[in-house]
Amino acid sequence: MTRPKNQGNSQPRWLFPFVVTVIFCLSVLPLGRLAVTGIVSAMQGGAHQLLSDPALWQAVYDTLTTSFFGMIAAVVLGGGFALLLTLFDVRGKAALGFLFMLPTMIPPQVTALSWIGMTGPSSTLLKALGLAPPLGSPQPLYSIGGIALLYGVQNAALVYLSLRAGLLALPRDGVEAARLSGASSWQVLKDVILPLSLPGFAAGAAIAFVSCVGNFGIPAILGIPASIYTLPTLIYSKFSSFGPGTFADVSLLSAMIAILSVAGLAVEERVLRGRDYRVIGLSGQVAVFRLGSWRWFAEIALWLTILIILVMPLTALVASSLAPAYGVPLSSSTATIQAYEEILFRQTVTRTAFTNSVTLSLTTAFGLLAATVLTGYFLVRGRSRFAPVIAALAEIPYALPGIVLAVAFILVFAAPVPVIGVSIYGTIWIILITYFSSFFAVSLKPVMSAFRQLDPSLEEAARLSGARFGRRLADILVPLVAPAAGASVILVFLIACNELTISALLWSAGTQTLGVVIYNLDDSGSFNLASALSVLVVFMVVVMMLVLELMAKRLPKGVVPWRS
């Protein structure tokens, strides 16, 4: 017997095809295309030349070592912060947590620039303080160790969030029972809490590893000058020296990145075994241990870390942006805002980049919102059998490194779009559609949590009032998910505006983004202009994070990624 179509379903008929089309275009099509090109070129033997190239294996080795040590650094930093801030009676937790999140939200190329400004012979800050090493001595960050260190700084917050979520989900009564049975604080920590928080550690480490593997900004700025290539920067350099075999090569390289990422994500999935710490159980309250006389020590260590990973690099960045000309020492009399005038009023490239980034990000944020409100509604309210598959497909593009996605869309759009016959390769449209694909999950998540929290009877009451789908959407659903939708827009805007990896591969003259321009300015030696632009970007990041922080009270749980 065939089941009659359920028209009691609250969804209009076009919703399912719409959602399927969106997911197909943003996820299935590019990734499928990438897989097909990879497999075809591997079978045609084009792979042989690439695979016998020692430079490739050097890049694989460098990717793995930098990512591994980066992961270790992230686990040490993020784990330490999560344990101290969650389990102990440290003061100023909210401020420390917020500041610790900042390095993750600052674009990686800006992080790299700021650290360069803090170390090495040409550091304006060190020169102003008279601490600079002699000219000609090497920049210590242009090395495997330097890349790994910055990976650690950049991704520490991922470990922090994962572990913290795990710690907050610990049953409080378990801890209390252990204490009542006579265990000291230290024993409880060692025997109960740490073993139980291992999955959080492992999951955080796995996500950090994946994020390191896909990072482009840091190895581009720190690695290329020292001829250290990771897989993403190798792809970039293949595109710069474009040749007949480029497409085949890059599709294989991105397949490698994809495999490394999938392996990392599989580890995360495995250790969490279906428990979504990031959504549930965040309201848990962990017993707080007293540090006693060690508290001062812990607080000083925490603030010192913030000083080193955040305050000093940013100070160096500001110092570099205020330096008059290359080599001129910075003092209160030589400081100048000339660099800011230059990027804001004189250079057309930077102004174009501002316009491009803001337009792209706004379009992505609002365009995606329209799609994700409908998709989120379908996934949460629909009783479709396909909902889990669709939800998984929607997640994948964001989980994969941006470089993989960029390559996938290049492959899709290298030839003119069939039927209409227009080529969007090299235009701003290809960047836009790749953004749509990459940030779909970012936009979807807050909207879905809002729909989950919404009592279905609110919509049912509107149906009985006679309101059709469009009407309910406009009058009831959208206003009720508005706070989460606002958060979704800000988050997507924030991430898209700071993005470099995708646009680095997809830009062409006139479609530069902020990330690309910062990188190019640095590449061409205009370090002070690059720094000034970076300072503006950091400022924008902080402002938007503060806005989200202020909104957080009115948002469903799990919407603001760094709040728990």
- Residue from the set 476, 487, 490, 504 that interacts with other proteins by CB under 8 A: 476
Nearer to other proteins, 208 or 555 (CB): 555
**CA triplet 93, 99, 102: central angle to 5 degrees?**
145
The answer to whether 540 and 266 have CB atoms below 8 angstroms apart is no
Number of neighbours of residue 226 by Cβ within 10 angstroms: 16
Residue 4 interacts with other proteins (CB under 8 A): yes or no: yes
Question: From the CB of 487, what's the least distance to other proteins, in Å?
Answer: 17
The answer to whether 550 and 386 have CB atoms below 8 angstroms apart is no
- Site residues for other proteins, 382-401, by CB under 8 A, read 383
Nearer to other proteins, 164 or 472 (CB): 472
Residue 89, phi then psi, degrees to nearest 5: -85, 55
Please count the CA atoms within 13 angstroms of the CA of 216 that sit on its side-chain side.
Answer: 26
The answer to whether 514 and 417 have CB atoms below 8 angstroms apart is no
Residue 8 interacts with other proteins (CB under 8 A): yes or no: yes
Question: From the CB of 13, what's the least distance to other proteins, in Å?
Answer: 12
Residue 227 interacts with other proteins (CB under 8 A): yes or no: no
Burial degree of 133 (CB within 10 A; 0-12, 13-18, 19+):
middle
Distance CA 485, CA 482 (A): 5
How does 342-370 read in b/e, with b if 16+ C-beta sit within 10 Å? bbeeebebbebbbebbbebbeebbebbbe
Q: Which of 149, 156, 158 is nearest to 223 (CA)?
A: 149
- Residue from the set 479, 510, 543, 554 that interacts with other proteins by CB under 8 A: 479
Residue 289, phi then psi, degrees to nearest 5: -90, 150
Residue 480 interacts with other proteins (CB under 8 A): yes or no: yes
Question: From the CB of 380, what's the least distance to other proteins, in Å?
Answer: 16
Residue 475 interacts with other proteins (CB under 8 A): yes or no: yes
Nearer to other proteins, 275 or 463 (CB): 463
Nearer to other proteins, 295 or 463 (CB): 463
Question: From the CB of 383, what's the least distance to other proteins, in Å?
Answer: 8
The answer to whether 360 and 436 have CB atoms below 8 angstroms apart is no
Query: Locate tokens 């792809």: which residue?
Result: 235
Residue 370 interacts with other proteins (CB under 8 A): yes or no: no
- Site residues for other proteins, 446-465, by CB under 8 A, read 455, 457-458, 460-465
Nearer to other proteins, 280 or 458 (CB): 458
Number of neighbours of residue 540 by Cβ within 10 angstroms: 17
Interacting span for other proteins (CB under 8 A) from 103-111, 224-232, 258-266, 466-474: 466-474
Distance CA 211, CA 213 (A): 6
Binding mask 332-351 for other proteins (x = CB under 8 A): --------------------
The answer to whether 277 and 166 have CB atoms below 8 angstroms apart is yes
Nearer to other proteins, 172 or 383 (CB): 383
Nearer to other proteins, 464 or 550 (CB): 464
- Site residues for other proteins, 506-535, by CB under 8 A, read none
Distance CA 174, CA 377 (A): 38
Residue 466 interacts with other proteins (CB under 8 A): yes or no: yes
- Site residues for other proteins, 65-124, by CB under 8 A, read none
**Six-digit token string for 104:** 């993750």
Residue 554 interacts with other proteins (CB under 8 A): yes or no: no
DSSP 452: H
Q: Which of 427, 425, 424, 548 is nearest to 495 (CA)?
A: 548
Residue 470 interacts with other proteins (CB under 8 A): yes or no: no
Contacts of 210 (CB under 8 A, 6+ apart): 260, 261, 264, 265, 268, 399, 401
Nearer to other proteins, 6 or 240 (CB): 6
Nearer to other proteins, 150 or 462 (CB): 462
Residue 279 interacts with other proteins (CB under 8 A): yes or no: no
Residue 6 interacts with other proteins (CB under 8 A): yes or no: yes
C-alpha to C-alpha distances, 379 to 114, 151, 384, nearest whole angstrom: 42, 35, 8
Nearer to other proteins, 134 or 455 (CB): 455
Residue 408 interacts with other proteins (CB under 8 A): yes or no: no
- Residue from the set 467, 542, 551, 552 that interacts with other proteins by CB under 8 A: 467
How many of the chain's residues bind other proteins (CB under 8 A)?
23
Residues making contact with other proteins (CB under 8 A):
4, 6-8, 10, 383, 455, 457-458, 460-468, 471, 475-476, 479-480
